[in-house]
Structures are given as structure tokens and as C-alpha cells.
Structure 1
Amino acid sequence: MKITIGSDHGAVQLKEEVKMVLKEYGDVEVKDVGTFGTDSVDYPDIAEKVCGDVVSGNADRGIVLCGTGIGISIAANKIKGIRCALCNDVFSAKMSRQHNDANVLAMGGRVLGFGPAGEIVRAFVEGKFEGGRHERRVNKIMALEK
């Protein structure tokens, strides 16, 4: 699985911790599109880079991070083909994959500690879409883009 990850300045530390968690998976290849320091950057630019990889097929999933996760998740969901879920708990991360086939995870560097964030990432990476009645709903969500 290929995962593209990116953060603004408000979540650089969390991004590094998430990358450590992703190293636990031998079959996960991670591409980091920045930012790499604490100088201010605009989170829509990061969302565009990460989600561009997902919609082009260069990544299977994406992870986007900003201070709260709110702004970057809103930006990500403006990109056609993206189903970004802002998750602050493991149950939401599981459901985002099982029921919504989320292809991008958003989290907040100023909201979550490293431990909970790691568990959320694991749930997102390991989660499988259940299809069935959920597929009909995901198709309706995607039809809203038209």
C-alpha cells in the first residue's frame, strides 16, 4: 500500500510520529510531501499535494494533518474523488474505512497525543471497506460531485 502524508506547520511533530507508526507495516510505502519545519505554510496547498497523489493513483490512501485537522480536511474534501475523514478516535477511523471507504485520514497535531494518533492510524491502515449497503451510500456521496 502506498500512502502519501503531509502536514502544515501545526502538525509537523505529529506527522513524524505517524510516519514511525507506518514503519510498523512492511507493505506500506510512505511519501512525505511536507512541510518539514515550523515556518507557516497554507494547509490547502498540502491537502492538494496529498490528495493529488490519491486521485491520480500514485497513492492508495492519504493522511493530512494540520493544527486541528479541520481546515485540511475541508480542503481535502474539495478535491474531486476524495473522501477525507477527520478522526479523533479509533472507532471513527474504523467506521471511516468500513462504511465510508475513506481514502484520506485527517488529524490535528494540536488535538491528539501521539499514542491515540497512532491507534487511529493503525485503524485507518488496517480497515477494509465492507461494501454492500455502504457501497450504495458511497456512490451517492460521490454523485454529489457532479
Structure 2
Amino acid sequence: MIALGCDHGGYGLMQDVIKHLEERGMEYKNYGCYSEESVDYPVYAKKVAHAVADGECERGILICGTGIGISITANKVPGIRAALCGDCFSAQATREHNDANILAMGARVTGPGLALKIVDTFLDTPFSNDERHIRRIKMIEE
């Protein structure tokens, strides 16, 4: 199950992501927001981060205008490793090396075509389980 959350700036791109996940037959839970009416991104970042940290959802996707604020907020929740990605290489590397559990994107920075490729890369790339990466993740969590 994928936890989804966005603010008003990410709402349009999130609709594209939702359609894409449905086409892939992937289950998701939408934590909002539900329109382009102005909202505060920390509310939705925290809902998604807690859903992932508590094990309700395996991974999350967060979208705001830049992806910056929403990723900063998510990373304040213990156990969350949210990565702001604007390209497929970063999405692949953060899954393989950091076992990132939330993808953050900026709707005003990344167009929908590329964003959907980033989503696929993030969701389809497994963690490497290399000892050096496990060690580094433990260091992050200390």
C-alpha cells in the first residue's frame, strides 16, 4: 500500500500519480489534500509519514510545489527517510542506498511525464541490502 499526500501546489500532479498507480493496479491510500484550495503542507506530510512509520503503508509519495517543505516535514518523523527526487537516477540511488521509504517531488519543478517515470523507478527499485548501506542507515537513525 502506498500512502499519498500533497498540498494545493501538488494536487494536480498527484491526480496524475493516482491515475498512474491505478493503471498499474497498485493499492494506495490518499491522505489529502483533495483540491487546489490553499492548505498547509505539514499536515499532509505528517499523515503520510506516520502511516509509513507505523507500518500502515509500505511507502509514501508526497508532492508540494517544490518538494522541499513536504520532505523536510516528513523527515522529522522517526523511521522516515524521505528523498526529494527530480530525476530517475536519484530515485534509483535513494532506494538502493538509503532504503528511502517516501518519495517527495515538486510539481512546479518536475513535469508529469518525468514525474511518473520517477514514481516507477522509486517503486520498482529494491534496497540493495549491502552491509555498507545498512550501516549508514543505522548511523542516520542514531
TM tier relative to shorter chain: over 0.9
For 1:98 and 1:22, locate their aligned partners in 2 and report how far apart those are by CA, in whole Å. Answer: 21
TM-score between both structures, scaled by the size of structure 1: 0.94
Following superposition, the deviation at residue 84 of structure 1 comes to 0.2
Q: How large is the RMSD of aligned CA atoms in angstroms?
A: 0.8
Unaligned runs of 5+ in 2: none
Cα deviation code 1:34-76 (max 9, x no counterpart): 1111111111100011011101110000111100000000001
User: Residue in 2 aligned with 1:68?
Assistant: 66
What is the DSSP-based 3-state SS (H/G/I as helix, E as strand, rest coil) of the residue aligned with 1:5? strand
TM-score between both structures, scaled by the size of structure 2: 0.96
User: Residue in 1 aligned with 2:137?
Assistant: 138
Following superposition, the deviation at residue 20 of structure 1 comes to 1.7
Determine which of 39, 50, 53 is the counterpart of 1:52.
Answer: 50
User: Residue in 2 aligned with 1:118?
Assistant: 116
User: Residue in 2 aligned with 1:82?
Assistant: 80
For 1:63 and 1:81, locate their aligned partners in 2 and report how far apart those are by CA, in whole Å. Answer: 15
For 2:98 and 2:9, locate their aligned partners in 1 and report how far apart those are by CA, in whole Å. Answer: 27
User: Residue in 2 aligned with 1:98?
Assistant: 96
For 1:43 and 1:136, locate their aligned partners in 2 and report how far apart those are by CA, in whole Å. Answer: 32
For 2:59 and 2:77, locate their aligned partners in 1 and report how far apart those are by CA, in whole Å. Answer: 14
**Percent of aligned pairs sharing the same letter:** 51
